[in-house]
Amino acid sequence: MSSDHVSVNEAAEIKGVTRQRILQYINDGRLPAQKFADVYMIRRQDLDAVELKPPGRPRTAQAEQALKQGSKKRGGKK
C-alpha cells in the first residue's frame, strides 16, 4: 500500500483518538475506508478531511465557565 493510505492504528495515532473511535467513524459511514482482507485502509486525505469529535455529551456553557474559573483559582492558563 502506498503512503497515501494509513491503517486504523495509524489514523488513531494521527488524530489522537482510540482505534475503536476510528472504527466507529468507519462503521457509521463518517470516515471512508477500504477493507483489504481484515484490515481497513484509510486515504490520508479522507482522514485529514474528517473532524473527530470526542466521545460523550458536549459541555454546557455553565460547565465550561466553571472549569475556566477553577483553572484560574489553581493558577492555570487564562
pLDDT digits (tens, 9 = 90+) for 15-60: 989 999 999 999 999 999 999 999 999 999 999 998 877 667 777 8
CATH number (domain holding residue 41)? 1.10.1660
When computed from its CA atoms, the radius of gyration of the chain, rounded to whole angstroms, is: 17
What's the confidence (pLDDT) of residue 68? 82
Range of the domain at 50: 5-73
- Is residue 65 one of the residues assigned to a domain? yes
pLDDT of residue 54: 67
Does 78 reside within a domain?
no
- For residues 12 and 21, is the Cβ–Cβ distance under 8 A? yes
CA–CA separation, 22 vs 8, rounded Å? Answer: 6
Residue 13 domain-assigned? Answer: yes
The total of structural domains in the chain comes to 1
Q: How confident is the model at residue 71 (pLDDT cuts 50, 70, 90)?
A: low
pLDDT at 41: 97
In a domain, 26, yes or no: yes
SS3 labels along 44-61: HHHHHHCCCCCCCCCCCH
At residue 59, the pLDDT reads 76
